[in-house]
Amino acid sequence: MPADFKHLLWFLKLGALLNLYLIGSLWVLPKVHPQVLIPGLILLGVSAFRCLFPNRYLDNVVFHDTPLSSIFLTRVLATFSEVAYIYQFAYLIRILNFEHIPWVDGLSWLMVVQVLISQGFVWAAILLKRLDLYFYEEVGWFIIFAANSAASAFLYATTSPSATGAGLLQLNLLFGAGYLPWQILHLRSLRGEAHSETGAQGSTTWREGLAHALRQRRPRTDAKSWGGGIGLTWMVAYWASLIPLWVHYIAVSIARV
Strands 61-62, 55-56: parallel, antiparallel or unpaired by DSSP?
antiparallel
Residue 17 forms part of a structural domain = yes
Cβ atoms within 10 Å of 27's Cβ, excluding its own: 9
With beta carbons less than 8 A apart as the criterion, state whether 92 and 257 touch. no
- Indicate the SS3 state at residue 12: coil
Tell me how far apart the alpha carbons of residues 257 and 140 are, in angstroms, rounded to a whole number: 32
Return the CATH number at 241: 1.20.1070
Residue 187 forms part of a structural domain = yes
Tell me how far apart the alpha carbons of residues 74 and 115 are, in angstroms, rounded to a whole number: 17
Residue 1 forms part of a structural domain = no
Residue 244 forms part of a structural domain = yes
pLDDT > 90: percent of the chain: 81
Average pLDDT, the chain: 93
Structural domains of the chain, count: 1
Query: How are strands ordered across the β-sheet holding 55-56?
Result: 55-56, 61-62, 218-219
Residue 214 forms part of a structural domain = yes
Residue 79 forms part of a structural domain = yes
Owning domain of residue 208: 6-255
pLDDT value of position 203:
61
Tell me how far apart the alpha carbons of residues 85 and 38 are, in angstroms, rounded to a whole number: 9
Rounded to two decimals, the pTM is 0.93
- Radius of gyration of the chain measured on its C-alpha atoms: 19
Residue 48 forms part of a structural domain = yes
Burial of 219 (0-12, 13-18, 19+ CB in 10 A): middle
With beta carbons less than 8 A apart as the criterion, state whether 76 and 42 touch. no
pLDDT value of position 30:
79
Write out pLDDT tens, residues 63-107.
999 999 999 999 999 999 999 999 999 999 999 999 999 999 999
pLDDT value of position 221:
97
pLDDT value of position 230:
86
Tell me how far apart the alpha carbons of residues 107 and 145 are, in angstroms, rounded to a whole number: 10
With beta carbons less than 8 A apart as the criterion, state whether 133 and 121 touch. yes
Tell me how far apart the alpha carbons of residues 195 and 214 are, in angstroms, rounded to a whole number: 27
pLDDT value of position 189:
82
